[in-house]
Amino acid sequence: MSGAQRFVDFLKRQIGLEVGSVGISVIERAVRQRIASACAADADAYWQVLQHSAKERQALIEAVIVPETSFFRYPESFALLARLAGQRLLSLAGSRALRILSLPCATGEEPYTIVMALFDAGIAAAQFQVDALDVSPRLIERAQQGRYGNNSFRGAQLGYRERYFSAVEDGYALDESVRQQVRFQCGNLLDPALLANQPLYDLVLCRNLLIYFDQATQEAVLAGFKRLMRQDGVIFVGPAEANLASRLGLQTLGTPQAFAFRYPDASLPIERPARAPQASQPKALRQPPAPPARSVDGRPRTVARHKAHPAAASLAPPPAAENDTAQLQAIASLANQGHIAQAQQACERLLAEQGPSAEVFYWLGLLSDASGQPTQAQGFYRKALYLQPQHPEALSHLAALLAAQGDLAAAGRLRVRAAQGVGKNV
């Protein structure tokens, strides 16, 4: 698409979006959709509409945002949150209510899960308040309705649905007792005035958002949360963001699979980690370990090698759902013949057609490795881990890249996770 970069730059200014986290094809598709909806003649005409219409700017942002959420996602986080809430309330001795922030809240599954988890822990409604923010008014409106389909209920433990939902014609309706505990509002995390005059929060959930930003924006966001939180507050991040939080100076609480952190000292700024120079790393650490090559039927196969792209020789897809196998095998064929750019384009097309996929983001990470782009590869591996926290190949490859940067401790923890198949804080 001619002039696509201006739309990429616009989205980065507006919401801090890093194009590599979603793929250029997702942005191009969103622009095409909005050109048609706005009845613009072409991209240039639509760009002019975008400059003069706040409504259209919001529409483009929402066309790019693809919320992925469900109730009690990463249940260990909510179990820890409930324990911490109980401990904090004991120390407060009734002096005030507990304050909790969920951002971005998308269609409401996360903030409502907070309420259900606290109710299940025996905490009364008067003892806490949940604030929920998102950049999208459309998503906020859906969250406030409290109506959900089957896709919001995943996993085997669905007892909470019996306790807090009523079956209706189009799905399930959330009880009013849960809904009234959450205050929804629109807000942009990059706005320095966001919640400026509000009391500080005890607990903050910001999960699977930082992976969409570049490093400067990630640091700015974490510094902003430090401003909004009490000195002894706790912030929960997503599995793929735990290493980032550690590298930016936050201290893990050490609870497996909860991904919970504290700021070490609210009076001190977050220290930026020193970046290990790539040229000084041993060459052997630059090459990620190759996952076992597999055929369509799952048996080991030989991967063809290509002199022009030696890193592509290690590319092989992990097991995939049956209906995706053929397309992933086609990507493998392109990569193993040395057609890295074509394989990347095939991945972006698959994302545009079918939406976010852990396997496709894992492939994009491998292809970035093969192209000598370790920073971009890390972003894709983290995106894969956002969608599938225990993706073993993504864990192993990300560990290799971190080791190449000198972060041997984080690399070791990722390798343990890959070997044990159990998610842990990194």
Q: What share of the chain is helix, strand, coil (3-state, %, to 5)?
A: 55, 10, 35
Residue in 311, 316, 313, 328 with CA at minimum distance from that of residue 371: 311
332 & 370 share domain: yes
For residue 153, the model assigns a pLDDT of 92
For residue 395, the model assigns a pLDDT of 84
Q: What is the number of structural domains in the chain?
A: 3
User: Which residues are CB-contacts of 169 (< 8 A; sequence separation ≥ 6)?
Assistant: none
Of 262, 296, 328, the domain-final residue:
262
For residue 67, the model assigns a pLDDT of 66
117 & 11 share domain: no
Mean pLDDT per block of 10 residues along the chain (426 residues) reads: 75 74 77 87 88 82 75 91 95 94 92 97 96 89 94 88 94 96 88 85 90 79 87 88 80 86 63 36 34 39 35 43 68 72 87 84 84 82 86 80 70 68 43
188 & 252 share domain: yes
CATH of residue 294's domain is: 1.25.40.10
10 & 141 share domain: no
CATH of residue 131's domain is: 3.40.50.150
93 & 234 share domain: yes
Asked, for residue 269, whether it belongs to a domain, the answer is no
Cβ atoms < 10 Å from Cβ of 23: 24
241 & 295 share domain: no
What one-character-per-residue DSSP string does 125-137 give? GGGEEEEEEES-H
115 & 243 share domain: yes
238 & 106 share domain: yes
Amino acid, res. 117: A
d(CA 412, CA 400): 9
Asked, for residue 183, whether it belongs to a domain, the answer is yes
Per-residue pLDDT of 300-344, as tens digits, reads 333 333 333 333 334 444 444 445 677 887 887 777 666 788 888
d(CA 323, CA 329): 11
Range of the domain at 251: 75-262
Torsion of CA 11, 14, 16, 21, to 10 degrees: -20
For residue 111, the model assigns a pLDDT of 97
d(CA 72, CA 243): 22
